[in-house]
Structure 1
Amino acid sequence: MDLERARQEYLSYLAVERGSSKNTVAAYGRDLSRYLAWLAERGVREPNDVTRELVQDHVAALAGAGLAPASVERALSAIKGFHRFMVSDEISDELPTEDVPLPAKPARLPDVISRDDAERLLDQPFPSTPAGLRDHAILEVLYGCGLRASELCGLDERAVLLDEGVLRVLGKGEKERVVPVMGAAEAALVEYLERGRGALVGRRPTSAVFLNARGGRLSRQSVHAIVERYGRVAGIHDLHPHTLRHSFATHLLEGGADLRVVQELLGHANIATTQLYTHVDRSHVRRVYLAAHPRAHL
């Protein structure tokens, strides 16, 4: 029995014996038709001629063609079920789909905002209240120092060394790193510490830098809400603390910072993680090329 006839029998088995829905049978039918057409292009029409390498190559081709990960996963499920059916019905002696993995998902590029967006966010008017001073400092430190929300919430007073212009940040795995705090971030932080924090301190003393209205340590959820709220005011929707961290790294690299330095500032254990930030928009690449290459202009 050739593969096409086996496909028809498998779909009939799904509908009649397994009671699969019409939508499932139709989707599997399309996936298998594409699979058999791909095999036919390579001269493979008989069940026993299919190899594990062919199955892997087909799945990789689906992912490479831009199919959504869920669609690739469903196609592989259909192919595996098809080959198991052929073995159980003695149509084939081979099971080439055993241990065929899904292709690795491509690393998702970080979301970033433009420099103009960052300026609009940070230059907007903030309330002169203790909470307003706190919120301004939070945004400036997230973007100016590249901290995670959890790291910002975990800052204690002893970690703010303004005489040295640094923060001692406790990151993932309890690893400490030293991050410069300068310029606008330093100014906003100083203003909050001098004029805002004292008014937020509650009855119980706390060493936390960033406090909520009850005088306790600010939570990550509160930081997310603060960032999102000021983002909306600045016309930047769905803004998250991590977006500011991503933007910190991307803008540093666009400005010529060394990748290893950015890795240290972010607290990445692996340089490969930092390399995700080397994505820059085409217009920036073009500007750098035009400015730097001696033969860029006629």
Structure 2
Amino acid sequence: MSYSFGNNSLPPIKLIPLDDRTAASATISKKLSGKTAKIKAPIDIRWVKVQEFLRSSNIRPNSRKLYERELKRFLGWTELHYQELRPRHLGHYKEYLMEDVQTDAGKALTKNSINSALTALKSFFKWLTLTYPDMISTNPTVGVKFEKVPLPPAQSLTSQQMQQVWEALEFLGETKQRDTALVHILSHGLRAGEIVDLNVGAFDGKLLFLADTKTDEPRLVPLRKESRETLGNYLSWREEQGEQMMSTSPLIVSHHNSRKGERLSYHGIYFAIEKIGELANIPNLHPHQFRHTYATELLLLGVDPSHAKRLTGHQSEKAFRRYTLRSEQEAAIAAYYRAIGEEKVE
């Protein structure tokens, strides 16, 4: 049997444009109906995992910015996928940081900066291997060593400098009550970030309860009598100004026009202390110096180092060693002057 078809017996051919979500449109651009289909850039799955890490990890805001910057720099250095990375690649990257990367001033990175970059990488890959073992089962950063950095000395303030700080507070205007309370809290060893998170309910009239700390371990901080009274007066003053105080209200508030009455930020604390330093004639005064001063004073007073570590919230023996070194040196100097019958020279 034979079949024959006329010229018009076939149905007309209908062109059906491919949806731009198909694989074809992701790799090639075609002109359809006189228009050029847009091609979306492929998503870098490596950066997606970095973003997930930054969201899911308990990282403080400043550390989060540093981690994001360093992980972005690493992904710009290599196109290898995570499962392709080996310890030698991370070793080459460390060499790159040491030899090729420069600061804005054109100088090589310091050992501390290199260690910060490595810390970001080590934290990320530790999280990645635990969260996605099917993607990457071995942490490629394990064999990468930190640069050896000498233990920095404690940046404690002298008794004379502390006196200058207390005197400078008297020259403040609108922020006097707030900043006096702030300095009293800082002088009990709290980190600036810990103060930011404190609510009114954290103060019971004697102690400060820190639920959210850098080490993720809650701690209680006993306050001196003068500090308890100063903090209580500050809170009473805020009520007198018409503020409705609740246990969830921020313990320390901002006086900035755009944030008045809101929680004092991390940068707000630094700015307040910097201003006090200018009035006290102490260049580059920063909040962490009060923490160093508190830790050193505890040891000079004879407080057991284990108790001092608990009060300051230190976990690292190495980090705490700077304070024991300072206190041992101060004790030795005091012993010398006692032995020769002279007063210690400040």
Same fold (TM over 0.5): yes
Q: Which amino acid aligns with 2:170?
A: F
Q: Which amino acid aligns with 2:335?
A: V
In the alignment, is residue 279 of structure 1 matched against residue 337 of structure 2?
no
Q: Which amino acid aligns with 1:226?
A: A
Of 248, 261, 269, which aligns to 1:215? Answer: 261
Instruction: Measure how far apart 1:266 and its partner are.
Output: 0.9
1:217-296 equivalences under 5 Å are 217-280=263-326, 282=329, 284-291=331-338
What is residue 199 of structure 1 aligned with on the other side? 241
Structure 2, unaligned runs of 5 or more: 1-107, 112-142, 342-346
What is residue 151 of structure 2 aligned with on the other side? 107
- Determine the C-alpha separation between the residues in 1 that align with 2:323 and 2:263: 31
In the alignment, is residue 179 of structure 1 matched against residue 221 of structure 2?
yes
Cα RMSD, aligned residues only: 3.2
Q: Which amino acid aligns with 1:149?
A: A
1:1-298 equivalences under 5 Å are 104-126=148-170, 131-143=175-187, 145-162=188-205, 165-169=206-210, 170-196=212-238, 199=241, 201=243, 207-213=249-255, 214-280=260-326, 282=329, 284-291=331-338
TM normalised by structure 2 equals 0.50
Q: Which amino acid aligns with 2:183?
A: L
Distance 1:200 1:147, change over 3 A: farther
Distance 1:101 1:152, change over 3 A: closer
What is residue 20 of structure 1 aligned with on the other side? none
Instruction: Measure how far apart 1:270 and its partner are.
Output: 2.8
Equivalent residues of 2:215, 2:313 under 8 A apart = no
Q: Which amino acid aligns with 1:223?
A: I
What number of residue pairs does the alignment pair up?
A: 197
Q: Secondary structure at the match of 2:277?
A: helix
Distance 1:264 1:216, change over 3 A: same
Q: Secondary structure at the match of 1:280?
A: helix
Distance 1:140 1:244, change over 3 A: same
Deviation string 1:227-268 (CA, Å, 9 cap, x unpaired) is 111111111110110011111111221222221111001111
- Determine the C-alpha separation between the residues in 1 that align with 2:246 and 2:330: 52
Structure 1, unaligned runs of 5 or more: 1-67, 72-98
Deviation string 1:69-123 (CA, Å, 9 cap, x unpaired) is 969xxxxxxxxxxxxxxxxxxxxxxxxxxx9978511122231210121122123
TM normalised by structure 1 equals 0.58
Distance 1:191 1:251, change over 3 A: same
Q: Which amino acid aligns with 2:216?
A: E
Q: Secondary structure at the match of 1:124?
A: helix
- Determine the C-alpha separation between the residues in 1 that align with 2:195 and 2:250: 10
Instruction: Measure how far apart 1:205 and its partner are.
Output: 9.9
Instruction: Measure how far apart 1:178 and its partner are.
Output: 0.3
Q: Which amino acid aligns with 1:178?
A: L
Between Structure 1 and Structure 2, which shows a larger proportion of helix residues? Answer: 1
Greater Rg by CA: 2
